[in-house]
Amino acid sequence: MRLGVLDVGSNTVHLLVMDAHPGARPLPAHSHKAELRLAELLDADGSIGDRGIERLVTITHDAVRTAEDKGCEELLPFATSAIRDAANADAVLKRVRDETGVDLQVLSGPEEARLTFLAARRWYGWSSGKLLLLDIGGGSLEIAYGIDEEPDAAVSLPLGAGRLTAGWLPGDPPDLADVRALRRHVRAEIARTVGEFARFGKPHHVVATSKTFKQLARLAGAPGSGEGLYVQRGLSRTSLEEWVPKLSVMTAEQRCALPGVSEGRARQLLAGALVAEGAMDLFGVEELEVCPWALREGVILRRLDHLPAA
């Protein structure tokens, strides 16, 4: 069957159309992204402003039309931290539902972590053993750990690259005092969760998802997206520690010139790097592997798991 996943994130609204069947690997058929950057469109009280809502409605309407054009039998729409943390979340969801017919399902932070973990587990299989997953989005950081498909621990922290950039790094290039303050904040937040995971023992395999990790791995010399899904891409803490000081003194325009860095993500790359560095350091990770599958694939896999047997 052909399924569409509509992911309303902090940075983008992403429609992923996949041909999926129980027991088979989901195959991407179409992908469309539209920049939204809701984390940067919040009012002073934490509400999503009219401009952000209107853009969300327009993009959602266009995504529904595209899903229909591509022959999707079912659309799985969901939203993550940008909407679940907004002060006017209920009003935003109602307006989207009233004007587009789409009932966005808001995932909790732990749900987001669990579904992303499921995707990583299915990608790497049982032979990967105890798996530690890190995912940096625009609004939050998800961490999950386990040996089965359901993680033993899953948390979500308000450490997304877009959220932190908007709240902590106003300058371009950023003030180095602001960078240090953000670094302290990030590490204090992550340190509170380390004990919850440490009791399960050392992971056999550490993996990361999200555009932020893909870009950081690319900076460290990993192959570009043009090389395909099946090329191994890794990131070492040593490489990351070399890049953070460089990113700290660059403007967004200068970061755009780096390999693999898009214009829309350039400004928030430093915040994402600080989160990645802090997580790898505090969890004792020397190297990790970038997983091609993430939350959207996890949503599809969970839906396939609930289909009745033929």
What's the CATH code of the domain at 51? 3.30.420.40
For residue 78, being part of any structural domain is answered with yes
Show which of 106, 139, 159 is a domain's final residue.
Answer: 106
- Which letter does DSSP use for residue 308 in this model? P
For residue 300, being part of any structural domain is answered with no
pLDDT at residue 299 in the model: 96
- Let me know whether 94 and 121 are in one domain: no
* Separation CA 93–CA 53 (nearest Å): 9
- Let me know whether 93 and 33 are in one domain: yes
For residue 307, being part of any structural domain is answered with no
- Let me know whether 157 and 15 are in one domain: no
- Let me know whether 91 and 203 are in one domain: no
**155-194 burial, b for 16+ CB within 10 Å, e for fewer?**
bbbebbbbbbbbebbeeebbeeeebeebbebbbebbeebe
Show which of 49, 72, 106 is a domain's final residue.
Answer: 106
- Let me know whether 246 and 286 are in one domain: yes
- Let me know whether 138 and 89 are in one domain: no
Whole-model pTM?
Answer: 0.94
User: The domain containing residue 16 runs over which residues?
Assistant: 2-106
pLDDT per residue as tens, the chain (310 positions): 999 999 999 889 999 999 988 888 899 999 999 988 876 777 878 899 898 999 999 999 999 999 999 999 999 999 999 899 999 999 999 999 999 999 999 999 999 999 999 999 999 999 999 999 999 999 999 999 999 999 999 999 999 999 999 999 999 999 999 999 999 999 999 999 999 999 999 999 999 999 999 999 999 999 988 888 888 999 999 999 999 999 999 999 999 999 999 888 999 999 999 999 999 999 999 999 999 999 999 999 999 998 776 5
* Separation CA 79–CA 212 (nearest Å): 19
- Let me know whether 133 and 275 are in one domain: yes
Answer yes or no: are the C-beta atoms of 233 and 216 closer than 8 Å.
no
- Let me know whether 155 and 94 are in one domain: no
For residue 124, being part of any structural domain is answered with yes
What's the CATH code of the domain at 193? 3.30.420.150
pLDDT at residue 310 in the model: 55
For residue 18, being part of any structural domain is answered with yes
Answer yes or no: are the C-beta atoms of 86 and 139 closer than 8 Å.
no
pLDDT at residue 309 in the model: 60
pLDDT at residue 10 in the model: 85
pLDDT at residue 37 in the model: 81
Which one, of 118, 133, 109, 78, lies nearest residue 297 by Cα?
Answer: 118
For residue 306, being part of any structural domain is answered with no
- Let me know whether 205 and 267 are in one domain: yes
- Let me know whether 134 and 275 are in one domain: yes
- Let me know whether 47 and 74 are in one domain: yes
For residue 301, being part of any structural domain is answered with no
- Residues near 178 by Cβ (< 8 Å), separated by ≥ 6? 168, 169, 170, 171
- Let me know whether 63 and 185 are in one domain: no
pLDDT at residue 276 in the model: 98
pLDDT at residue 38 in the model: 79
Show which of 64, 91, 106 is a domain's final residue.
Answer: 106
Number of structural domains found in the chain: 2
Dihedral of CA atoms 108, 299, 210, 13 in degrees, nearest 10, equals: -80
Q: Per-residue DSSP letters for 144-180?
A: EEESSSS-SEEEEES--HHHHHHHH--SSSPPHHHHH
